Amino acid sequence: MTHFRRAGAMVAFASSAALLLTACSSDSEPEGSENPDTTSSAASGDSDAPVTLTWWHNGVAGDTGENSLGDYWDKVAADYTAEHPNVTIEIEQIQNEDLQRTRIPTALQSGDAPDIFQQWGGGELAAQAEAGYLMDLSEPLADDIERLGGAVAPWQADGVTYGVPFQFAVEGVWYRKSLFEQAGITEEPTTMDELSDAVQKLKDAGITPIAVGAADKWPAAHWWYNFALRSCSQDTMSTDTAALDFSNPCWLDAGTQLEDFLGTEPFQDQFMSTVAQTGATSSAGMVANGEAAMELMGQWNYFVYEGFTDGSDEAIQALHDDLDWFPMPATSSGEGDPTASMGGGDGFSCYKDAPAECADFLSYLVSDDVQRGYVEAVGGLPVAPAATDAITDPVLQEIAQTSSNAGYVQLWLDTLLGTNVGGALNDGIAAQFAGTGDAQNTVDLMTAAAATQ
């Protein structure tokens, strides 16, 4: 999933330089000095032997040259190495898709992988774990896993923890308050019927109700995911996606509900040609410019919308004042929990041959203080419950609130099912949006992909 990052290259350079200086100066400390900060369970035995950790993450500079995430990770690494003088951390910032599709798979294949690398969880993690590339973090991070709670589940396979998330958030519907007012909508829709009413009112007022970036497939697919979440019970959801068996009628029902919803023509004209985030004609651009009222998206879109302003504080404030969020409405039927939410996040894994310090560093990375700093520096949504009090933005607070109130949070289905079956699912849903495939076709494509692996 594409995430939007902003930050400054110069600042990044300055931080890297600071990191190097820290690393150098800490070498000169006396060897025998006791390290009272080494409280981690993972630090066992010879903690003074020099260790180098390589770290690949997706915090790269955006169009504006800012890189708040990359800068923050530089600071985290610098803080950690200051407390652990024997550890050196070498960071490589790599663009998200390059990192996920090319660099990490190739590095794992070659047997020369980075010690710490970005991990998106779900089916991809399961495949890497099955191939034996990942370090078992269940033992060294036992306390952290308990503290972080259910959000760790997507980074587990067969009950073993292979990674930890630093960010996790549910998705929902972003909307423009002024356009809702213009159409005479007073309440946020809580059921699909209310959503359909709102769509009709917006259409009557001559406003495009919902924007969707169907050309990128996944933004369209998320509508189906949410219908599946309402159709299938939590039990079916977890059992069937693990067994890759989609014979339960609730999967077909998700597609049928999508077809009914598509029948009400809630989306912008020619939505198949619309991308999600690039350019003013993208779905995010439409909402940011007030040309469409709603969009179903993850929390990152808050920052994507900001990117369509002129960047001034007033413009961003004006956008924030008119932007609000509500969770995916409940459907009238289905066995799914109406409060359940789709969500996803970002995490890190350790390579199987990484030094024990890798686990210790991850433990530090998801500690309450570092998570709080993450919220303040990057504006993301933390995983550590204790860090949520650092969120000051009302909309992000609402998203965090929805996360914690949710009956359960389901990982994005394409991530959960892995690239092959997940890709087949997205292809099937895109065909439904384009009108070239039906609900059965989507289930058939998933079933066929599952049979090939």
Partner 1 sequence: MTALETSGTGTVPAAGAAAPAAGGALGQPVSDHPRRARLRLWGELALFLGPALALFLTFVVYPVISAARYSLYQWNGVEQFEDADFIGLENYARALFGGTDEATKSAFTTAYAEPFQAAFSHTIGILVLSIVIQLPLGLLIALVLNRRFPGRSAVRVILFAPYVLSEVIAGTMWLIIFDPNGVATELMNAVGLHPPAGGWLEDQTWGFWVVFFIITWKYIGLAVILFLAGLSGVPQELQDAAAIDGASWWQTQWRINIPLIGPTIRIWVFLSLIGSIQLFDMVWVLNQGGTTGQYSTIATYMMQIGFFRNDWGFGSAIAVIMFMLSFVVAVFYVLFVLRRDNSDAPRKVKRA
Within 8 A by CB and 6+ apart from 46, the residues are none
399 part of the interface to partner 1, by CB under 8 A: no
Binding segment for partner 1 (CB under 8 A), chosen from 46-54, 257-265, 272-280, 381-389, is 272-280
| 272 binds partner 1 per the rule CB under 8 A | yes
DSSP states along 294-322:
EEEE-TTHHHHHHTTS-S-HHHHHHHHHH
Helix, strand or coil, per DSSP, at residue 366: coil
Closest CB to partner 1 among 202 and 424? 424
- In the chain, the N- to C-terminal Cα span, in Å, equals 23
| CB-CB contact of 296 with 171 (8 Å) | yes
Closest CA to 91 of 194, 156, 18, 31: 18
Residue 217 in contact with partner 1, rule: CB under 8 A: yes
Query: What does the DSSP 8-state code read for residue 289?
Result: T
Nearer to partner 1, 290 or 385 (CB): 290
Closer of 52 and 453 to partner 1 (Cβ): 453
Q: Which stretch binds partner 1 (CB under 8 A): 68-76, 168-176, 341-349, 424-432?
A: 424-432
Q: Does 247 sit near partner 1 (CB under 8 A)?
A: no
Residue with tokens 């690039």: 278
Query: Using the rule CB under 8 A, is 20 a contact of partner 1?
Result: no
CB of 285 to partner 1, least distance (A): 10
Query: Rounded to an integer, what distance in angstroms lies between the CA atom of residue 342 and that of residue 96?
Result: 21
Residues 106-165 that bind partner 1 (CB under 8 A): 108-109, 124, 127-128, 130-131
Number of neighbouring beta carbons within 10 Å of residue 381? 26
CA distance 98 to 70: 16
**Judged by CB under 8 A, does residue 390 bind partner 1?**
no
Close Cβ partners of 222 (under 8 Å, ≥ 6 residues apart): 171, 296, 297, 342, 412
Residue whose CB is less far from partner 1, 49 or 434? 434
Q: Candidates 75-83, 244-252, 266-274, 297-305 — which segment interacts with partner 1 by CB under 8 A?
A: 266-274
434 binds partner 1 (CB under 8 A): yes
Which residues 275-304 are close enough to bind partner 1 by CB under 8 A?
Answer: 279, 281
In the complex with partner 1, the residue whose CB is nearer, 151 or 214, is 214
Q: What's the one-letter identity of residue 303?
A: F
With 0-12 / 13-18 / 19 or more C-beta atoms within 10 angstroms meaning exposed / middle / buried, residue 106 is exposed
Contact 203, 259 (CB under 8 A): no
Smallest distance from the beta carbon of 289 to partner 1, in angstroms?
A: 11
- In whole angstroms, how close is the CB of 89 to partner 1 at the nearest point? 26
Q: Out of 226, 274, 349, 402, which residue is the one contacting partner 1 (CB under 8 A)?
A: 274
Is 445 near partner 1 (CB under 8 A)?
yes
338 vs 423, which CB is nearer to partner 1? 423
Site for partner 1 in 182-201 (CB under 8 A): none
Residue 243 within binding range of partner 1, rule CB under 8 A: no
Residue 419 is a binding residue for partner 1 (CB under 8 A) = yes
Strand 292-297 and strand 172-176: pairing?
antiparallel
Q: Binding residue for partner 1 (CB under 8 A) from 7, 51, 192, 214? A: 214
Residue pair 341/171 in contact (Cβ under 8 Å)? The answer is yes
* Minimal distance, residue 131 CB to partner 1, in Å: 4
The binder of partner 1 chosen from 240, 335, 438, 444 (CB under 8 A): 444
Tokens of 230: 């309402």
The single residue among 31, 146, 235, 269 that binds partner 1, judged by CB under 8 A, is: 269
Nearer to partner 1 (CB atom), residue 18 or residue 448: 448
Q: With 0-12 CB in 10 A as exposed, 13-18 as middle and 19+ as buried, what is 79? A: middle
Residue 262 binds partner 1, judged by CB under 8 A: no
Cα 370 from Cα 255, distance rounded (Å)? 41
Helix, coil or strand: residue 323: strand
101 binds partner 1 (CB under 8 A): yes
User: 40 or 426, CB closer to partner 1?
Assistant: 426
Whole-angstrom Cα distance, residue 216 to residue 429? 11
Element (H, E) at 57: strand 51-57
**Strands 164-170 and 156-157, sheet pairing:** unpaired
Considering the rule CB under 8 A, would residue 273 count as an interface residue with partner 1?
A: yes
> Would you tell me which residues interact with partner 1 (CB under 8 A)?
101, 105, 108-109, 124, 127-128, 130-131, 214-215, 217, 269-270, 272-274, 279, 281, 418-420, 423-424, 427, 430-431, 433-434, 436-437, 441, 444-445, 447-449, 451-453
